[in-house]
A and B are shown apart, each in its own frame.
Chain A
Amino acid sequence: MTHSLPNPMKPHLATLVGVRNLATGIKLFQVKIDDAEVMRRFDYTPGQFAEISAFGVGESPIGIASIRARSEAIEFAVNRVGTVTETLHRLDVGDKIGLRGPLGNGFPMEQFKGKNIVVLGGGIGGAPLRPVVQTILHNRSDYGKLSIFWAARTPDLLVFTDEYDEWRAAPNTELHLTVDKATPDWLHKEGLITTLVEEVAPSAENAISITCGPPIMIKFAMLSLQKLGFASEQNWVTLEAKMKCGIGKCGRCNIGDKFICLDGPIFRFDQVQQFLESFV
């Protein structure tokens, strides 16, 4: 035991440098860590998350929604659903928050090089997938065809709508949109993301899929992908759980003997299938 062990539960003090509405009940926060040296060294990969403090309330694990190559600040899309996120939504530019991270394993983007990539994002589940899309677009020739399936319950809940034109315009890239319940001005599909995926039927050959959404969506998305010939080893999912520490101590996010915060949140679906407990 050494005396001067750092306290891994102590966050970095950080400042909100940008706040904007992303969708109904969802805001995008741009964050800079106050210590310039820590900020400079803050290196992360798509799929990793951070514990964000709303001082006086507590912490929540939030997926990082940006990549370093595109954004100087660290970005988080926050859905207002609980006490911490409710408090974060009341903050504005210049306000202080706490940040611990980056946490979790992240997507093996190197391993995905040369592959066709199918992305399935449901609602706020699109947030941790935006760094995947951005990484591919930023290094376009490293990856094969990119098929993005983006869904939400209603059109006003779709995230990153202002980036769709850029995604569509990128070479070898498709964007497919759907909502569970359309409004009169909705020009795209209405229905479940799984229906749309099966309709478009991206090829499983030399492909991988990446899914983030509510557990029920992951469950049915895996069945649809299976129908299209995707083996479990080709499907990647990012799971969420209630977490307190984010560093494998508090016990809260275990699924069987795995901790989502340490062993995940990114899993290949065949690993998830071997979990002792169901994740849904």
Chain B
Amino acid sequence: MKVLTQAQLNEWLNHLAERFTLAAPVNVQGKLLYRQVDDSSGIAWGFERTDMSPKTWTFPATEPILIIEQGAETRLDDAPAPAPTVVFGVRPCDARGALAIDALFLDKEPSDGQYARHREATTLIGLACPQMWDSCFCTVVGGAPNSTEGLDLLLTEVDGSDGAAYAVQIISEKGEKLAAGMPGEEKGVSLPKPRLAKGLPTLPASQEWKAQFNETFWKQVTERCLGCRACTFVCPTCRCFDVRDEVVSRQPGRTVLQRLRAWDACTSAPYRRIAGGHNPRPTQHSRLRNRFYCKFMYYPDDFGPLGCVGCGRCIEACPVNIDILEVIAGVEQLAASGSS
């Protein structure tokens, strides 16, 4: 396996930054976000879990999906193509999050053209987690701190003779292409085993969730939800969106508009409200329940993967301490008590 010293990795990343848009975890006023870096010195080395997932690079929070020009004639054009991008330092859970979105946006017809362009333009370089951190539960939902799923390359920190070194696993064709010309040395190296969290619940199967849909448990667990949407915005698999138009420029006889899509959240009250006022999901408990059911029943039943990768960000982000692990444990308990 190829092993890179920290200096070699820096050199390689600097080289990539010349050829691609290079995104990596950056400390932005105390928050760890995937941002474009000019070279490896901007990377927040030693980071644990980032505050936002790298989803922002393949499914941006807001982006144009259509350009509309109104003048003597009206023209409709696709939004500009995304630039070739390498995201470095992707945690294995987040790469599985990308696969979950792929299952709906790419595999389920009709494919989402704009998302496909992003995915095609983007290469994901993973960085294995040495351990599960507070709130991490990737192992509950089928992942692992060193999972290669969805990644193009996976780097694992190993003991070097002189500081940090990284062992390189090539996962995909795209990764192989990117790794051509990578510095480093071929070495026999054994990858360290990540430290796993203990005492986590077992995820009930989707039919168990189905059976508990009308339990009063949902009212209790969601009573304090503020509908702030933080959980959905930090989530690497949440993919609901809103669409609206915006004026780019307005001149006499010529107006340029863009149609934007922006992240949206099923946990907010106006999400389902139709013009005229009817809201088929009128209570906060029905809205938050939908988020959990989407992740653990609808998504796996309809598209294959679970809609949760166990990153734990929603646990950290929730201002009223709603804990998805407690929800999972609660459903597990209801199922065990045979109330189904």
Contact = CB atoms under 8 A, between A and B. Distances in A.
B243 A58 contact: yes
A257 B298 contact: yes
Contacts of B290: 254, 277
If over half of B's interface residues share one DSSP class (helix, strand or loop), that class is named, otherwise mixed; here it is mixed
B266 A251 contact: yes
A2 B116 CA distance: 8
Contacts of B281: 277
A280 to B, nearest CB: 7
B123 to A, nearest CB: 13
B275 A81 contact: yes
B273 interface: yes
Given A81-B276, A82-B276, A249-B105, A56 B247 contact: yes
Contact of B241 (A11, A214, A244): A244
Interface string B264-302: 101000011111101011000010001001100110011
B112 A8 contact: yes
Contacts of A9: 65-66, 112-114, 243, 259, 261
Interface residues of B, number: 53
Interface string A77-97: 000011101000000000010
A96 B119 contact: no
Contacts of B286: 277
B210 A8 contact: no
Contact of B245 (A8, A57, A96, A250): A57
Nearest to B246: A56
Interface string B236-264: 00011111110100000001010101001
If over half of A's interface residues share one DSSP class (helix, strand or loop), that class is named, otherwise mixed; here it is loop
B110 interface: yes
Contacts of A60: 275
Contact of B74 (A8, A55, A256): A55
Contact of A250 (B76, B241, B298): B241
B167 to A, nearest CB: 28
Given A81-B275, A81-B276, A249 B112 contact: yes
Interface string B107-133: 010111110110110000000000000
Contacts of B321: none
A59 B280 contact: no
Contacts of A8: 110-113
B70 interface: yes
A240 B65 CA distance: 25
Nearest to A215: B278
A1 B245 contact: no
Given A7-B113, A56-B255, A82-B276, A244 B66 contact: no
A59 B76 CA distance: 14
Interface string A1-33: 111011111110100000000000000000000
Interface residues of A, number: 46
A81 B274 CA distance: 9
B171 interface: no
Given A1-B120, A81-B276, A58 B66 contact: no
A244 B243 contact: yes
A251 B116 CA distance: 18
B279 to A, nearest CB: 9
A242 interface: yes
Contacts of A13: 74, 76
Nearest to A51: B243
Given A55-B68, A56-B255, A251 B240 contact: yes
B76 A98 contact: yes
Nearest to A97: B74
A254 B276 CA distance: 19
Q: Which of A13, A60, A214, A280 has the most CB of B within 10 A?
A: A13
B243 A7 contact: no
Contacts of B76: 10-11, 13, 98
A245 interface: yes
Interface of B: 65-66, 68, 70, 74, 76, 78, 104-106, 108, 110-114, 116-117, 119-120, 210, 213, 239-245, 247, 255, 257, 259, 261, 264, 266, 271-276, 278, 280-281, 286, 290, 293-294, 297-298, 301-302
27 contacts: A1-B119, A5-B116, A6-B110, A8-B110, A9-B112, A11-B66, A55-B68, A56-B247, A57-B245, A58-B259, A83-B275, A241-B274, A242-B273, A244-B264, A245-B241, A247-B110, A249-B112, A250-B242, A251-B264, A252-B272, A254-B298, A257-B297, A276-B213, A277-B213, A277-B286, A277-B290, A280-B280
